[in-house]
Amino acid sequence: VSTSRLETFADGVFAIAATLLVLDVHAGPPLSDTLLRIWPSYVAYAVSFATIGIIWMNHHYVFSLIARVDRTFLLINVGFLMCVGFIPFPTGLVATHFRGPGLPPAALTYGATLIVTALLFNLLWFYAARRRRLLRPDADLRAVSGVSRSYAIGPVVYAVATVTAFADATAAVILFALITCFYVVESSVFGRSRARPEDQPASE
């Protein structure tokens, strides 16, 4: 029962962080020009919303494998949500400074935020999965090690894209968008067979 509150709080942070992204989309007059010129804001909104959505899907999947929580797990989760709630800040930076001299530091901030988010998500998972500490007794061994491998790659992928920003910030930003696209495709296409046992009865 209690985990449901954890999920309510987490889903609240996910939903708010995603929806606050729209506050960074601004357009002053003359609208006919501005609305086209600010396309980086739209892309940044879409990429960060999709990123938060995919993190939410993974968080959701981890909780389907977990049987119980302890205070350390709750704390790691608060730290993880702290990162998710921070995503609107670097997203706004990248959108605002996309065509200016501020793009390299903006891209580094975005990358650093996502590296730390991915690291904390791994910490959350490995704390729960190590020696099956918090896992359900019936959690499938192969599903668990598949998740471990798949999540461990996250920080590496974001680190590579972030390092690219030192050479070419625009390339780094494109990489960030591509990573999100990859995860979208991966979880819908490749993830389909993996998802089979995950298909769940609806609540009503």
Residues 7-26 that bind its own copies (CB under 8 A): 7-9, 11-23, 25
- Residue 98 within binding range of its own copies, rule CB under 8 A: no
Residues 24-43 that bind its own copies (CB under 8 A): 25, 27, 29-32, 35
d(CA 89, CA 152): 25
Location of structure tokens 């019936």: 138
Amino acid at 94: V
Q: How many residues does the chain have?
A: 204
- Contacts made by residues 191-196, CB under 8 angstroms, sequence distance 24+: 194/143, 194/146
Binding flags for its own copies, 140-179, as an x/- string (CB under 8 A):
----------------------------------------
What distance in Å separates the CA atoms of residue 182 and residue 157, rounded to the nearest whole number? 11
Paired tokens of 115 = 């590296």
Task: Burial-class residue 60 by CB neighbours within 10 Å (0-12, 13-18, 19+).
Answer: middle
Single residue of 44, 56, 158, 175 touching its own copies by CB under 8 A: 56
Nearer to its own copies, 141 or 193 (CB): 193
Q: Which of residues 111-130 bind its own copies (CB under 8 A)?
A: none
How many residues interact with its own copies (rule CB under 8 A)?
80
Task: State both tokens at 29.
Answer: 């007059």
In the bound state with its own copies, the residue whose beta carbon lies nearer, of 35 and 156, is 35
CA pseudo-torsion sign 97, 98, 101, 107: positive
Which one, 40 or 191, has the nearer CB to its own copies? 191
For the bound state, the minimum distance from the C-beta of residue 132 to its own copies, rounded and expressed in Å, comes to 14
Q: Does 131 bind its own copies (CB under 8 A)?
A: no
